[in-house]
């Protein structure tokens, strides 16, 4: 067996199940889960129709690189969304379809990381646990940068030592962040690109929440935007990850893309050819329909705005919680141990949230998620409102 498997920690939801095992929730209240970040809004009907119309493509072996029409649709979306000049993104060289960002983030790390050279994979803390598992199974070491309130829940990149940058092979960014919802500012993105050039590491920007934001006049910038502003038409050392799961409420479609540095994607394509993870053609055709439409994405953001407005109106008087820059999470500070909060809330109000400490790692005696909980506002409005009311009653009883 691969001994690196022994280094993997239980997934946060395994820890949550263990925490709640043996707890009897209030029988007079229906369960409401704000724990798992699985979109619950309706999938676009036209995407489902496109999938149904092309089921005959199940008789065709898909290619790993994907059909040209999908790569072209993705490149055009990136141009529109991130102000990338027309022609910079070559669909044949700079774009690769993937089966969702989770699969791609893991596989990408296996492609880029070099074993046995004392390398680091640097990530925010708290973080999406795939970053850590991918690093360990690639034979490298995770290195965590705390995301604290005083720094806007972004890492303090200025505090990172030259030794860490020297050993860094991959820097994972998540913007808007999971679970904090924080955006990495444009000046910071440009500074990180300069550091990547100086120390020769790859920036892997997980932007799967990029389409969930509140100000229609100020969409979150991305790493491709920074490249465009810098005139970096080769996207050297820069790779972005996007998905239809959150943007289009299509988590079960398992469809996303990776875009950026053509040399890195050439190697990633080679890895994926052996890995055996080509996207089915019918899925690709349905994905084209999704990437070419923005009306359903705007409607999706409207639904989240309504939920955030309602829930924050209920919780703000009793809880230290703020509207994030993006994503569908609330990163709330609780007045007690976060695991105890989650356990008692489940027991008394039948509402499930995730302890922040389960989404973070202890480094030098500090767990950046301790004392916080993550709430995913993915359920229908009525359920989110009811959950907020129950949380408020729970807090007011203390």
Helix then strand count (H, E) for the chain reads 14, 12
C-alpha 211/C-alpha 229 separation (Å) is 20
Q: 109 with 216, same domain?
A: yes
Phi, psi (rounded to 5 degrees) for 357: -65, -20
pLDDT of residue 117: 83
Question: Of 276, 293, 310, which closes a domain?
Answer: 293
Contact 241, 205 (CB under 8 A): yes
What pLDDT, on a 0 to 100 scale, did the predictor assign at position 116? Answer: 78
118 plus 245 within the same structural domain: yes
Same domain, 172 and 280: yes
**What is the full DSSP assignment across 3-53?**
GGGGGPPPPHHHHHHHHHTT----TTS--EE-SS----SPPPHHHHHHHHH
Mean pLDDT of successive 10-residue stretches along the chain, which has 398 residues: 92 95 93 95 98 97 97 98 97 97 97 92 97 96 97 97 98 98 98 98 98 96 98 98 98 98 98 95 98 98 98 98 97 98 97 98 96 97 98 95
188, 322: one domain: no
Determine the structural domain holding residue 85 and report its residue range. Answer: 60-293
Distance CA 310, CA 213 (A): 16
Does residue 54 lie within any of the structural domains?
no
How far apart are alpha carbons 234 and 91 in whole angstroms?
13
Gap between the Cα atoms of 254 and 271, Å rounded: 19
Q: Which of 352, 337, 340, 335 is nearest to 395 (CA)?
A: 335
CA distance 241 to 208: 7
Are 165 and 227 within one domain? yes
Please give the distance of CA 81 from its chain centroid, rounded to a whole number.
Answer: 18
pLDDT computed for residue 258 by the predictor: 98
From 293, 321, 356, give the residue that closes a domain: 293
Q: Is residue 52 part of a domain?
A: no
Same domain, yes or no: 250 and 307: no
At which of 262, 293, 324 does a domain end? Answer: 293
How far is Cα 102 from Cα 332, in angstroms, rounded to an integer?
A: 25
| Same-domain status, 168 and 273 | yes
Rounded to 10 degrees, what is the CA torsion of 258, 359, 300, 289?
20
Distances (CA, A) of 317 to 24, 303, 321, 369: 29, 23, 9, 22
The pTM (predicted TM-score) of the whole model is 0.97
Q: What angle do CA 14, 20, 22 make, to 5 degrees?
A: 120
Residue 7 included in any domain? yes
Residues 31 and 146 in one domain: no
Residue 225 lies in a domain: yes
Same domain, 209 and 336: no
pLDDT value, residue 138: 96
- For residue 187, tell me if it sits in a domain: yes
Q: Output Rg (C-alpha) for the chain, integer angstroms.
A: 21
Residues 6+ apart with CB under 8 A from 195: 157, 165, 201
**Amino acid 290: pLDDT:** 98
- Domain assignment of residue 101, yes or no: yes
Place of tokens 């790692």: 361
Asked whether residue 96 is domain-assigned, the answer is yes
Residue 132 lies in a domain: yes
Query: Domain containing 305 — which CATH number?
Result: 3.90.1150.10
Task: Indicate the number of domains in the chain.
Answer: 2
193, 256: one domain: yes
Here the CATH number for the domain that contains residue 189 is: 3.40.640.10
> Are 310 and 350 in the same domain?
yes
Same domain, 286 and 305: no
């Amino acid at each position: 067996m691969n001994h690196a498997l022994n280094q993997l920690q239980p997934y946060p939801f395994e820890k949550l199940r263990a925490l709640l095992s043996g707890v009897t929730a209030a029988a007079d209240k229906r369960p409401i889960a704000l724990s798992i970040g699985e979109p619950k809004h309706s999938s676009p009907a036209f995407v489902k129709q496109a999938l149904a119309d092309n089921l005959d493509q199940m008789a065709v072996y898909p290619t790993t690189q994907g059909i040209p029409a999908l790569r072209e649709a993705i490149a055009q979306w990136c141009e529109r969304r991130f102000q990338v000049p027309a022609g910079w993104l070559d669909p044949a060289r700079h774009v690769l379809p993937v089966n969702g960002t989770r699969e791609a983030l893991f596989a990408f790390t296996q492609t880029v990381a070099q074993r046995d050279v004392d390398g680091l994979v640097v990530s925010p803390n708290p973080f999406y646990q795939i970053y850590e598992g991918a690093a360990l199974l690639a034979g490298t070491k995770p290195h965590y940068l705390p995301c604290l309130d005083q720094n806007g829940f972004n890492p303090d990149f200025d505090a990172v030592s030259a030794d860490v940058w020297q050993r860094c092979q991959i820097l994972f960014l998540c913007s808007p962040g999971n679970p904090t919802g924080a955006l990495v500012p444009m000046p910071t993105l440009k500074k990180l690109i300069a550091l990547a050039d100086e120390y020769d590491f790859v920036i892997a920007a997980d932007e799967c929440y990029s389409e969930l934001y509140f100000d229609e006049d100020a969409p979150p910038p991305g790493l491709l935007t920074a490249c465009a502003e810098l005139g970096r038409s080769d996207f050297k050392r820069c790779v972005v990850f996007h998905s239809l799961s959150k943007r289009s409420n299509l988590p079960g479609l398992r469809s996303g893309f990776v875009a950026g540095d053509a040399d890195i994607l050439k190697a990633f394509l080679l890895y994926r050819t052996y890995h055996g993870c080509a996207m089915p053609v019918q899925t690709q055709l349905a994905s084209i329909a999704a990437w070419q439409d923005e009306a359903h994405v705007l409607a999706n953001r409207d639904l989240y705005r309504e939920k955030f407005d309602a829930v924050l109106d209920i919780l703000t008087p009793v809880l230290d919680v703020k509207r994030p820059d993006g994503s569908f999470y609330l990163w709330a500070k609780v007045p007690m141990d976060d695991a105890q909060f989650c356990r008692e809330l489940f027991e008394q109000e039948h509402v499930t949230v995730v302890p922040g400490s389960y989404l973070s790692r202890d480094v030098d005696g500090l767990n950046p998620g301790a004392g916080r909980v993550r709430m995913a506002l993915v359920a229908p409005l009525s359920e989110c409102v009811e959950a907020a009311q129950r949380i408020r009653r729970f807090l007011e009883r203390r």
